[in-house]
Structure 1
């Protein structure tokens, strides 16, 4: 899947990084497609000693406990909201943390900000009575939060972006932000995509078939691409891949510089006739092409060296996450995760890491900035007596080895060896069904591990935030 963060529009939003203006009814797979973007645009620098990294990770997560619970639902609803569904309890679809503030977006379109210092809700980010927030993006370049919304007054047909400094949100004045890309008509199938790696924003106005690239630092427009034959754009570090309308036996492609739009290479890739294209992906100089019931093709666009992987070994995944500096990529298929290199070889299969959601909803996956660890909401062990029903576990695994380093589950504490500073026997008092988390936390650990719909890891604070279908956010911390 392409990089960036594209987001789709509808009154019942799904999170994402490429935000695509949708028709009245949302596309069924958008929530999954878009949430992948949150992960795959982070570069890696996994240069530390691997053994140290593993032991460090186990120590980091050893004593994490359920500490706090936040509620995005207000029975009375924010006084400014007039849309009935904004006042209803709904599941959390996206969590973002920045500067000790946790932002939780509910499927209804309500977004709440909570302070980790005071453990209180600061404010709702909906500043208009008919605003439905579709997705969030933290812009580290200017310490601001970008919200992407649709409005009832516009029949939810156009995307509207707003930038608000974190400091204003901290003060409880989210209306102090300003509108972005007001000149762009972002109606379906238009979109806006945030690319954190290159520091760019890509917009597409379907009205006039024009792509525009903006600077993420100051939002100035850098250049535009006007070509009605472009079917898709994929972003990699430093470059963009333009995919044109497929011909009978080939697909025309262009590689552009992300900085100024200069054409670096134009070429065509041969295709099997009458075969559906499963995906075309760009990964630095590597092009991945897969057609229905055919082998995976890996092409080096500089040397045109060609590698094929047997279709029985590499079946079309639901999603990709590219690990740029390691020259590896993750694939997601049937609740499992695997790591591949660009010789088409399977590098890693993960142990004890069966994802909870069958659609590999990557709202429930976080990859660290070093991209050495993957944190996921997974199926609990079959012998976990307290994980009956909808309770899963939060697993931490090493990406390069596939080893499960630690997990949060209902019956045992971190790490996998079941040690616990409060109870050396391994039966952690913090993870029992008794409510021993203080007055501020109403859910037990088993309850907090049920129906998790969003997950985020704050690397600076070493805290995991999870959201569930009830609109609750739980803080797992030391």
Structure 2
């Protein structure tokens, strides 16, 4: 064991490369914060962040030297903890997301809210909104999202038709989009046409396995592509093999391969 932290007032911790943020119980009009070195627990900075007294804290997130603070019905605050420079983003532009993913390579972050994904920078500017990337789950199940190691692509389980928010029993699609441009680059989806050698995912999934009339067989279990694209609960992309793995609520794993 390298060290331990014992403080009954610590409410939450956040981890960034090399540092750890301790968030303490909210005090009157502020929240006490400490930034520690992950290596040895040395306290690098101690400070208080001012809060509106009667507003609940929606989130406090840390990204390197940037601190993101949002209170209920208030603007987003982006604080640089090195010089305490503060930026604000209007609450009308930035609504509280259900999840974040930080892109350390690109100095950006993703927000997820109501099935939509957006990309922001730390000046509080919207960088990207996606043209065809409506997530299947409204609460952002990040098990169904994969970001490539270069942080240039996002692969997600999405609605096959962005305009269709109806039955949960329909087959979804696996969408591949460029994070910086928002363009949809590829899509694996079930089709209703007769079996052909055509593929509806722009050739990225291997070509001949993307038609709903065709069947996948493994270990004696047969699934149509439409069945394989229903109720996906986990998604992973093997970047070396260029294969997408999906698991569904029936306990089946499917591999989408070139």
Same fold by TM-score greater than 0.5? yes
Q: Secondary structure of 1:434's partner?
A: coil
The answer to whether residue 49 in structure 2 is matched with residue 263 in structure 1 is: no
In 1, are the aligned partners of 2:159 and 2:172 still within 8 Å (CA)?
A: yes
User: Out of 212, 227, 230, which is 1:433 matched to?
Assistant: 212
Encode CA deviations 1:88-123: one digit per residue, 9 max, x unaligned.
xxxxxxxxxxxxxxxxxxxxxxxxxxxxxxxxxxxx
Structure 2: distance between partners of 1:421 and 1:250: 55
Question: What does residue range 235-274 of structure 1 map to in structure 2 within 5 Å?
Answer: 235-274=15-54
Encode CA deviations 1:346-376: one digit per residue, 9 max, x unaligned.
0000111000111111111111111111100
How far off is 1:439 after superposition? Answer: 6.2
In 2, are the aligned partners of 1:336 and 1:353 still within 8 Å (CA)?
A: yes
Instruction: Name the structure 1 match of 2:237.
Output: 457
Structure 2: distance between partners of 1:318 and 1:288: 14
> Larger relative contact order (C-alpha < 8 A, sep ≥ 6)?
1
How far off is 1:383 after superposition? Answer: 9.2
Instruction: Name the structure 2 match of 1:229.
Output: 9
How far off is 1:434 after superposition? Answer: 3.2
The answer to whether residue 128 in structure 2 is matched with residue 342 in structure 1 is: no
How far off is 1:281 after superposition? Answer: 0.6
Question: What does residue range 408-419 of structure 1 map to in structure 2 within 5 Å?
Answer: 408-411=188-191, 413-416=199-202
How far off is 1:415 after superposition? Answer: 3.6
Instruction: Name the structure 2 match of 1:60.
Output: none
How far off is 1:432 after superposition? Answer: 2.7
In 2, are the aligned partners of 1:414 and 1:420 still within 8 Å (CA)?
A: no
Task: Quickly say closer, same or farther: Cα 1:304–1:288, change in 2 above 3 A.
Answer: same
How far off is 1:460 after superposition? Answer: 1.7
Structure 1: distance between partners of 2:169 and 2:124: 39
Structure 2: distance between partners of 1:224 and 1:332: 33
Q: Secondary structure of 1:363's partner?
A: helix
Structure 1: distance between partners of 2:34 and 2:102: 20
Question: What does residue range 39-438 of structure 1 map to in structure 2 within 5 Å?
Answer: 221-381=1-161, 389-411=169-191, 413-416=199-202, 430-437=209-216
How far off is 1:433 after superposition? Answer: 3.2
Q: Secondary structure of 2:84's partner?
A: coil
CA RMSD of aligned residues (A): 2.2
More strand by share: 2
Compare 358-367 and 308-317 and name the one that shifted more. Answer: 358-367
Structure 2: distance between partners of 1:421 and 1:281: 39
Structure 1: distance between partners of 2:163 and 2:59: 39
Task: Quickly say closer, same or farther: Cα 1:332–1:471, change in 2 above 3 A.
Answer: same
Structure 1: distance between partners of 2:30 and 2:163: 52
Structure 2: distance between partners of 1:383 and 1:283: 34
With normalisation by structure 1, the TM-score equals: 0.50
With normalisation by structure 2, the TM-score equals: 0.90
In 2, are the aligned partners of 1:435 and 1:442 still within 8 Å (CA)?
A: no
Structure 1: distance between partners of 2:11 and 2:206: 56
How far off is 1:430 after superposition? Answer: 3.0
Structure 2, unaligned runs of 5 or more: 192-197
In 1, are the aligned partners of 2:21 and 2:62 still within 8 Å (CA)?
A: yes
Structure 2: distance between partners of 1:255 and 1:430: 50
Instruction: Name the structure 1 match of 2:195.
Output: none
Structure 1: distance between partners of 2:102 and 2:215: 41
Aligned length: 249
Task: Quickly say closer, same or farther: Cα 1:383–1:431, change in 2 above 3 A.
Answer: farther
Task: Quickly say closer, same or farther: Cα 1:260–1:419, change in 2 above 3 A.
Answer: closer
Structure 1: distance between partners of 2:175 and 2:20: 34
Encode CA deviations 1:143-163: one digit per residue, 9 max, x unaligned.
xxxxxxxxxxxxxxxxxxxxx
